[in-house]
Structure 1
Amino acid sequence: MSPETKASNAKTTAAAGLKQQAKQDEIETERAKGSPLKKGEKRVEERAVAANGDGPVADPVNDPTRSKAPSPSKGSKQ
């Protein structure tokens, strides 16, 4: 087998492993969330709304992913 073929096979195997891990992560996230994640265009719209600040705000008291330090309010200088 040539070095190019070995490299190509390694990349294909790595890509397949990443896809499998991403699918498993998605399944675990959906299970923890209790509902399916949005896909495609709906997800893009949801992320855009969340990014501009008009989307849903996480509950900082019950959200374990947020840090305990308060974030600066909009318009304040650091």
Structure 2
Amino acid sequence: MEYFDTSPIELVGYAASLCVLLSFFMKNIRALRIVNSIGCALFVLYGILLPTIPVALTNGAIIGVNVYYLWIHKK
């Protein structure tokens, strides 16, 4: 059963992918940005663990964009 021979790093990547995917099904933009940020944070962790710096940097920047828009819409 090779399907269950998954490393913890791969599980982080799958969880990140699932969060990002789920965020696109959300109609509420605030919820979308929060769930997407969680997925991106997991991708940052994934990028650090691999290590794949472009993955970590890109998703870190996306978190920044999400936080920015959450912040300006909060006012």
* TM-score normalised by the chain length of structure 2: 0.32
* TM-score normalised by the chain length of structure 1: 0.31
Point out the structure with max Rg over C-alpha: 1
Higher relative contact order (CA 8 A, sep 6+): 2
